[in-house]
Amino acid sequence: MSDVWVTLEQVEAGVHRLRIERERALNALNADVLDQIEAALDRVEADQSSRVLIVTGQGTKAFVAGADIEAISRVDNQAAARAFAARGQRLFQRFEESSIITIAAINGYALGGGLELAMALDLRIAAHSARLGQPEINLGIIPGFGGTQRLSRLVGPGQALWMISSGEPVTAEEAKALGLVDMVVPADTLMDECLRRAHILAEKAPLALAASKRLVMGSRDWTLESGLNQEAEAFSRLAVSADGREGTQAFLEKRPPKFQGR
């Protein structure tokens, strides 16, 4: 039986926290860890009350310091290497496609596969002590879990090419200036800030929350005309939904809304 390297807990109504607990290996990702992350995501998505998922690493040194280099070193053929990359890509794509809002609580090193995981999540909040990078070039390889694609979308192709080609990490403050993280906070307030934001999101109308994520994330790939059409269609559905009616009526009656997700 595999060791348990991922824990999932509900921290408040609508909010779960997933922690990668492989601290002696700096929370590095191997096949078992990826499987356990996916199983946790399955549980969160199966809970209809879920709204927000916070992902973090155990300890103070690392969020996730990368994929397991020892495991990569044992790959002896191209088909196996491709399968390993595809495994991580599929899982990280699931986070993007999920209706759940995801928050990366970057508590330390987010390198290689760790940065790729963080970039697949919706919001990224980093401790001042965090360091972020794609150092695979130093091993004679490149990112394989989506780093070449997501990093360029977040920081632009020039900066992405530099980070990937040099392997040089950036500080949390540098990452914020580049648009790679959304907020930088002291390490001892990191989880408090993530929970504060998660609480705000969890109280919003579920259908509108999911639509907001789908439309914002989709805007990276759609033309403006297509995106506007998608927005208008979603707005029209939500405006006549039970939650839409409840929200507008509550505003007029000057009371908090009671959203039901329908």
Torsion, Cα of 101, 48, 86, 213 (10° steps) = -30
Quick check: helix, strand or coil at residue 15? strand
Q: How far apart are CA 145 and CA 68, in angstroms?
A: 13
For residues 108 and 129, the answer to whether their CB atoms sit within 8 Å is yes
Is the backbone of residue 27 left (phi > 0), alpha (psi -120 to 50) or beta? left
Tell me the residue type at 50.
S
Question: Per the residue annotation, which of 116, 174, 193, 246 is the catalytic one?
Answer: 116
Known catalytic residue at 116? yes
Quick check: helix, strand or coil at residue 131? strand
- List the Cα angle 161/165/168 in 5-degree steps: 100
Q: How many CA atoms lie within 13 A of 257 on its CB side?
A: 19
Question: Per the residue annotation, which of 9, 70, 136, 253 is the catalytic one?
Answer: 136
Close Cβ partners of 218 (under 8 Å, ≥ 6 residues apart): 227, 230
Known catalytic residue at 136? yes
Q: Which residues are catalytic?
A: 116, 136
